[in-house]
Amino acid sequence: MAGAFGITLLCSWLFFTCIVQAQTGPIDVTQLGAKPDGSADMSQVLADAWKQACNSTTATTILIPKGTFLLKEASLVGPCKAPVEVQIQGTIKAPEDPAQISKDKEWMTIMYVDQLTLTGGGTLDGQGAKAWTQNECRVKTECSKLPNTLSVNFVNNTVIRDLTSLNSKLFHVNLFGCNNITFQHFTITAPGDSPNTDGIHIGHSTGVVITDSNIGTGDDCISIGDGAKQVNISKVTCGPGHGISVGSLGRYDNELPVEGIFVTDCTISGTLNGVRVKSWPAAKSGSATNMHFEGIIMQNVSNPVIIDQEYCPNNQCTNTAPSSVKIAQVSFKNITGTSATPAVVTLLCSKSIPCEGVEVADIDLAYNGNQGNVSSNCANVKPALSGKLNPPICANATIPAQAA
């Protein structure tokens, strides 16, 4: 009996030790059955790993090691009992065919989580090339939506760093209803002609930081939608793409204000626009205030500085009334480099609600093309001007009498 009891104790002690190790070490998806062969779907394995990590009362790491893993789709939903880190060291691939992802779902969705870290140096490969040929949303208002690579909804106090998003089918990252999200050393890569592949889209979120990152894609490198507040973008390299944009705004009813956008020390190269604020010509109201763009280097950028309140891509506008979006307290300062178009500064504000509190200072943008002389184009705005201005900015700008 004594011997048997001792063995039981030893076995119990070994079992206890094993449990402690399982709780304190990372949850390796390959230990749960995921195969790094690029063909075996790891969706259920990742769901199981997430459930285990999310239910842990101590901070837990999920490890996706080096190798190539197929993931048909994932929904990582909280709330969790403690912080979770997902360490992606390998490459996770989406199905090439978007039809393999559930209708109206995103490829990877994270919801209702606090204190999450996504990191590891790995890659999220959206395998978007086949889907791009099916994208009709760029030319039709009624169209079937393709899945985003990463949809982050109602997530707080989270860091996404040292990861790459490659060839998304639609947006690389979409934020909605989030607070205190930081992107650092985040790389986004897709061809310049990949349609609607916004890099990071921010909507209804507060306290978003994007820094030390490299974004090249087929649409806006960063797009800031309604309800975005206190967004800080710094040391970002953007291009190819459509630049860094606030908007488009004013397309839908009941849009929330945009407030506190700071874009500093960025380099924009070979894009269709530089730094831009855009709203649709329509009677739907909204506002964008306290926006500042400073210390930007332009390298062969079309439309380097632009406010466009007549934004209407592919002639989709049914209402040609002036924009009802109020734009105020905007500054463009210390913006230098080269333009691919002769109009280097374009400020086209709404005739019904002219822009207010616009500042332009220390602009030095050269145009070496053959399409005309370097110029600026301004309407319905009287900006405050200071410092070196090359070319002269808004020399003949006026505000309509009925709006003054």
256-294 burial: b if 16+ Cβ within 10 Å, else e: ebbbbbebbebbbbbbbbbbbbbbbbbebebbbbbbbbb
Sign of the alpha-carbon torsion through 54, 107, 111, 191: positive
User: Can 242 be counted among the known catalytic residues?
Assistant: yes
Catalytic residue among 172, 201, 242, 292: 242
Structure tokens, 255: 């849009």
CA separation, residue 343 to residues 273, 330, 366, 374 (Å): 11, 19, 10, 6
Strands 60-64 and 37-41: unpaired
Partner residues linked to 296 by β-bridges: 335
Nearest to 376 by CA among 358, 357, 403: 358
Of the candidates 190, 219, 37, 220, which has an alpha carbon nearest to the alpha carbon of residue 128? 190
Element (H, E) at 307: strand 305-308
Phi/psi region, residue 89 (left: phi>0; alpha: psi -120 to 50; beta: rest), is alpha
Structural Rg of the chain based on CA atoms = 24
How far is residue 231's CA from residue 235's CA, in Å, rounded to a whole number?
14
Structure token digits, residue 32: 């749960």
Residue by residue, DSSP assigns 111-138 as: ES-BSEEEESS-EEE---HHHHTT--TT
Asked if residues 323 and 370 have their Cβ atoms less than 8 Å apart, the reply is no
Catalytic residue set: 242
